[in-house]
């Protein structure tokens, strides 16, 4: 064990490990990359996190930089949960629900709490956390906050940042801060602090004042964007100020979250679900745009494309039985309304009118049994991506991009062209209401040819999304995989602004380095796995 590991073992309550097995286990997340940590720490409390950060800060002051990476369940698909220094693994101990406040309808949790378990608890109180990711059963709330996760309900309710009321964060130097929205008076107190926290408030406040034009350029016309940092929601017109939105989505690069306060929404399990089939992508787009205009619109608007249906049918025809029959349409949209019985019925009628104009078939379900059959279409994708064809695996290379909703058709057509020209067949599915799509082509990363193809696809997809004014990091952050593209994506001056933000919080670059900054395509080539798999998640599958 190294001297650093010895020091941590001596001073922390939580376990410290450096075994080859443990390092190998944490060398992968759900991305195509691998990078082994030197030391794994299972913090037992905030003090452990504080001490680990303080120690790496002191070493960095003396010129020795040891990265520190926070980790939830490691389901990040872009390599955000990988690091080669100290890895702080939260689900082991820091996994408690600290408070469920039925008056303010908020929950306070430690970062390692399993999202699915928290959701179950909330359901028993008639509440829920709407921006849950599809991976909720096997991922943490801390990971969702650090990634600003979003999911099927986000089209109506928004992403995680819309629900985070406040955070406790360990800064790079081990100082602990609490964030929430501050009024002008509270802000001026923070600005006067003689601590690292005070320095951060002063620097960020000045930067936002000086760089308003650049901050505006971070706002895209996509519904969601997690590329870089969210600088737009820190300071409001009324002068109030909140660092929370900056930490949300920052992927452990600005601070380590040790507690989060989240607001919840009433949970209405009685929904109306509609399934509409389309033979034209133009009609699909028109329907999506019209549905987005409905007041208090759909609570989900999920897309499954025709090739996905064919792949599912090829794998197991029973999965589509009683729901859809071949020949399959070019696209199916699942549209859910959850606004209570009367309102949902009214909305379903409005949706019906839209579908009359654009869809070739529409069915509605209010009974859970029938609804489950419809949702099975979406869930069946999980078994298809989990299905290995020889050495071919579904790989998340170009997952998680989004374009403005009025470019949905162009995006789909561009993807089909890209797949065609690379001789690939794959399913495309995702959140149509946000024009945010999932695409996981099947490749054998052990083969040089397929690895080359992977980089070609990444580049062609990057160009397609950029040409359509989209974002490569829509639901979650850039991780390592998309970091090489950030400078060109935003342009040099905006990227310089993002770099300044990083330097303010993390002057020695100890917090998850390589994520959002400092990873090149050549680094990615070095880190790419030769065999892709999700072994450490299989306890909780199915996935989709």
Ligand X SMILES: Cc1cc2nc3c(=O)[nH]c(=O)nc-3n(C[C@H](O)[C@H](O)[C@H](O)COP(=O)(O)OP(=O)(O)OC[C@H]3O[C@@H](n4cnc5c(N)ncnc54)[C@H](O)[C@@H]3O)c2cc1C
Residues within the interface to ligand X (CB under 6 A): 29-30, 69-77, 80-81, 90, 111, 133-135, 139-140, 142-144, 146-147, 149-151, 251-252, 256-257, 475-476, 512, 515, 543
Closest separation in Å from C-beta 282 to ligand X = 27
User: Is 142 or 414 the residue whose CB approaches ligand X more closely?
Assistant: 142
User: Is 249 or 329 the residue whose CB approaches ligand X more closely?
Assistant: 249
Q: What's the token pair of residue 119?
A: 């959701």
| Residue the block writes with tokens 């330097």 | 503
Closest separation in Å from C-beta 61 to ligand X = 22
Closest separation in Å from C-beta 253 to ligand X = 8
Burial of 88 (0-12, 13-18, 19+ CB in 10 A): buried
Closest separation in Å from C-beta 417 to ligand X = 26
Beta bridge partners of 74: none
- For 309, phi then psi, to 5°, come to -60, -40
User: Is 75 or 347 the residue whose CB approaches ligand X more closely?
Assistant: 75
Contact 213, 219 (CB under 8 A): no
Integer Cα distance of 224 and 475 in angstroms: 7
Closest-CA residue to 435 (of 180, 148, 121, 224): 224
Sequence-ordered list of residues with C-beta below 8 angstroms from that of 366, at least 6 positions apart, any chain: 270, 271, 272, 273
Side-chain-side CA neighbours of residue 190 (13 Å): 23
Contact 304, 278 (CB under 8 A): no
Q: b vs e for 44-73, b when ≥16 Cβ sit within 10 Å of the residue's Cβ?
A: eebbbbbbbbbbbbebbeeeeebbbbbbbb
User: Is 16 or 146 the residue whose CB approaches ligand X more closely?
Assistant: 146
Closest separation in Å from C-beta 306 to ligand X = 22
Closest separation in Å from C-beta 366 to ligand X = 25
Contact 378, 535 (CB under 8 A): no
Closest separation in Å from C-beta 9 to ligand X = 21
User: Is 90 or 508 the residue whose CB approaches ligand X more closely?
Assistant: 90
Contact 34, 74 (CB under 8 A): no
Integer Cα distance of 462 and 482 in angstroms: 9
User: Is 290 or 315 the residue whose CB approaches ligand X more closely?
Assistant: 315
User: Is 115 or 358 the residue whose CB approaches ligand X more closely?
Assistant: 115
User: Is 283 or 502 the residue whose CB approaches ligand X more closely?
Assistant: 502
Q: How far apart are the first and last CA of the chain?
A: 39
Tell me the residue nearest to ligand X as measured from the CB: 143
Q: What's the token pair of residue 182?
A: 């501050």
| Residue the block writes with tokens 């990634």 | 147
Q: What's the token pair of residue 95?
A: 């996994």
Integer Cα distance of 117 and 353 in angstroms: 39
Closest-CA residue to 354 (of 409, 286, 295): 286
User: Is 90 or 229 the residue whose CB approaches ligand X more closely?
Assistant: 90
Closest separation in Å from C-beta 499 to ligand X = 18
Closest separation in Å from C-beta 132 to ligand X = 8
User: Is 80 or 484 the residue whose CB approaches ligand X more closely?
Assistant: 80
Integer Cα distance of 77 and 476 in angstroms: 9
User: Is 8 or 30 the residue whose CB approaches ligand X more closely?
Assistant: 30
Q: What's the token pair of residue 336?
A: 């859910």
Closest separation in Å from C-beta 86 to ligand X = 12
């Amino acid at each position: 064990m190294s001297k650093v590991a010895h020091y941590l073992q001596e001073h922390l309550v939580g376990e410290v490990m450096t075994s080859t097995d443990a390092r190998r286990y944490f060398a992968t997340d759900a991305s195509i990359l691998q990078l082994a940590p030197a030391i794994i720490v299972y913090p037992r409390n905030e003090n452990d996190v504080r001490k680990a950060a303080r120690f790496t800060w002191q070493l960095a002051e003396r010129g020795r930089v040891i990265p520190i990476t926070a980790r939830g369940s490691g389901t990040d698909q872009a390599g955000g949960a990988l690091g080669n220094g100290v890895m702080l693994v939260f689900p082991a101990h820091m996994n408690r629900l600290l408070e469920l406040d039925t008056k303010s309808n908020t929950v306070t949790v430690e970062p390692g709490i399993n999202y699915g378990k928290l959701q179950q608890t909330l359901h028993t109180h008639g509440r829920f956390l709407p921006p849950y990711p599809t991976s909720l059963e096997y991922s943490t709330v801390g990971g969702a906050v650090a990634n600003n996760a979003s999911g099927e309900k986000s089209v109506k309710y928004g992403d995680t940042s819309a629900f985070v009321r406040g955070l406790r964060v360990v800064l790079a130097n081990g100082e602990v801060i609490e964030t929430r929205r501050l009024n002008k008076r509270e802000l001026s107190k923070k600005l006067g602090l003689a601590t690292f926290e005070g320095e951060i408030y002063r620097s960020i406040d000045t930067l936002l004042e000086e760089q308003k034009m650049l901050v505006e350029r971070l706002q895209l016309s996509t519904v969601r964007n997690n590329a870089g940092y969210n600088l737009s929601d820190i300071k409001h017109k009324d002068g109030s100020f909140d660092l929370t939105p900056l930490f949300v989505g920052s992927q452990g690069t600005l601070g380590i979250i040790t507690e989060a306060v989240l607001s919840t929404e009433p949970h209405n399990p009685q929904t109306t679900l509609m399934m509409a089939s389309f033979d034209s992508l133009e009609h699909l787009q028109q329907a999506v745009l019209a549905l987005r205009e409905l007041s208090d619109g759909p609570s989900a608007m999920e897309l499954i494309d025709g090739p996905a249906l064919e792949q599912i049918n090829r794998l197991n025809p029973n999965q589509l039985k009683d729901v859809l029959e071949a020949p399959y349409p070019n696209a199916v949209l699942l549209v859910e309304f959850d606004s209570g019985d009367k309102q949902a019925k009214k909305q379903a009628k409005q949706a019906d009118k839209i579908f009359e104009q654009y869809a070739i078939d529409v069915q509605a379900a209010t009974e859970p049994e029938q609804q489950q059959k419809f949702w099975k279409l979406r869930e069946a994708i999980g078994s298809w991506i989990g299905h290995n064809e020889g050495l071919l695996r579904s790989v998340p290379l170009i997952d998680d991009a989004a374009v403005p909703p009025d470019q949905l058709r162009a995006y789909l057509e561009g993807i089909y062209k890209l797949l065609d020209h690379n001789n690939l067949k794959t399913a495309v599915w995702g959140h149509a209401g946000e024009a945010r799509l999932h695409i996981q082509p099947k490749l054998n990363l052990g083969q040089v040819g397929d690895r080359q193809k992977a980089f070609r696809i990444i580049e062609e997809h990057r160009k397609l999304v950029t040409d359509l004014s989209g974002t490569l990091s829509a639901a979650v952050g850039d991780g390592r995989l998309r970091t090489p593209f950030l400078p060109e994506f935003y342009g040099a001056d905006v990227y310089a602004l993002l770099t300044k933000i990083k330097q303010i919080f993390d002057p020695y670059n100890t917090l998850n380095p390589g994520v959002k900054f400092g990873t090149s395509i050549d680094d990615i080539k070095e880190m790419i796995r030769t065999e892709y798999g999700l072994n450490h998640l299989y306890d909780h599958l199915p996935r989709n």
